[in-house]
Amino acid sequence: MLDSSQYSSRRQEQKDKMNDVKLAVLGGEGTGKSALTVRFLTKRFIGEYASNFESIYSKHLYLEGKQLNLEIYDPCSQPQKAKFSLTSELHWADGFVIVYDISDRSSFAFAKALIYRIREPQTSHCKRAVGSAVLLVGNKRDLCHVREVGWEEGQKLALDNQCQFCELSAADQSLEVQMMFTRIIKDILTNFKLKEKRRPSGSKSMAKLINNVFGKRRKSV
């Protein structure tokens, strides 16, 4: 049995873990995954990004009264990699930003396949106990004169698959990009709370245990 100091340090560990937020930014090649991530982290839009290596960015931020350790995974495009295996991402991430380019229909098809993969009936060992938070983003809204994917199509795909949705431009809309990331992080925090509620809390389990042991003894005296 844990003594009280072990017990409280275990609880503290659980709480600290709760403040780790892992987000994967996925989508087709050249849709603007790095542009969005870098825009969020630095508020800058940088025209070209090296796309031959994957990155995990870290950021500390304060949201809803909590200090969060945010990690953002930005993969490199690997056409040779099995496109929708996603196994490691599903294990790693608490939430997903799925990006397509509104001026490129094939990127929308790719986003759709990614969402279907994420929403497949979950395997018991995956992180997604209550369904992970997913936000579908139609990027490059500044290119709406050459739009190939309608706003309604994005909205419908998101609605049909319990995702959030927005259209924006990493190039032109810094504030919208900040809001988009904040929205998905808030959804992840809500999921954490739901998971915490569903799991019998440490203190309740401990109380139950004590009750079982001492309650029964008392009866037999």
Instruction: Assess contact for 32 and 104: CB atoms under 8 A.
Output: no
Cβ closest to ligand GTP, residue 47 vs residue 121: 47
Cβ closest to ligand GTP, residue 145 vs residue 217: 145
Q: Nearest distance from residue 21's CB to ligand GTP, in Å? A: 21
| Piece of 118-126, 167-175, 178-186, 199-207 that binds ligand GTP (CB under 6 A) | 167-175
* Phi, psi (degrees; rounded to nearest 5) at 78: -130, 85
Site string for ligand GTP, 43-62 (x = CB under 6 A): ----xxx-x-----------
Cβ closest to ligand GTP, residue 164 vs residue 173: 173
Burial 87-123 (b: 16+ CB within 10 A, else e): eebbeebbbbbbbbbbbbeebbebbbebbebbbeeee
Which residue in 90, 132, 139 sits closest to 110, CA to CA? 139
One-character DSSP codes across 20-70: EEEEEEEESTTSSHHHHHHHHHHS---S----SS-EEEEEEEEETTEEEEE
Using CB under 6 A, pick the residue from 40, 108, 140, 187 that binds ligand GTP.
140
Using CB under 6 A, pick the residue from 115, 170, 177, 185 that binds ligand GTP.
170
Binding footprint of ligand GTP on the chain (CB under 6 A): 27, 29-35, 47-49, 51, 76-77, 139-140, 142-143, 169-171
